[in-house]
Amino acid sequence: MNHFPQYQGAPEGYVDLPYDVFLAITVPATSVRQNQFVKIDNFDAPFYWLGLSGTLDDIQVIIKDYAGQYFMNTGIWIPAIAATDGRAYPIMPAVLYPKGTQIQVDLETPGPAPVAVELCFWGIKRYPEKDAPC
């Protein structure tokens, strides 16, 4: 977790465990796929999104918060965030997805061919010490 500069560790009384969430989808040529849900198995603890990595294809991603609201004005082009050394592009500050929520994304590809998208949302689940599964 030390490759995320915004991550300062768990507050006293809590335990943070690494947890990553994945999205794999094919987006048709010159199309937009809105409101794609990225399932977080977070019914036991909130998820803190710390980083993003993905495929090197011609695709734009617009990510929403847990309430489905955009928190960016424009999309991120995947080549700009692709991990080059096994690390993810850091998200600062970390984005909280409370228990039971999901990540929503809009995907757009301007190219003449379908694009296979693979995204990894790097993060942690934060547990009270007494509830941590380890």
Contact 49, 91 (CB under 8 A): yes
68-115: pLDDT as tens digits: 888 777 777 666 555 555 567 778 788 999 999 999 999 988 888 888
Give SS3 for 6.
coil
- Residue 93 CB contacts under 8 Å (≥ 6 apart), including other chains: 6
22-62: pLDDT as tens digits: 998 888 888 888 999 998 988 899 999 988 887 756 788 88
Domain locations in the chain? 29-128
Determine if the pTM surpasses 0.75.
yes
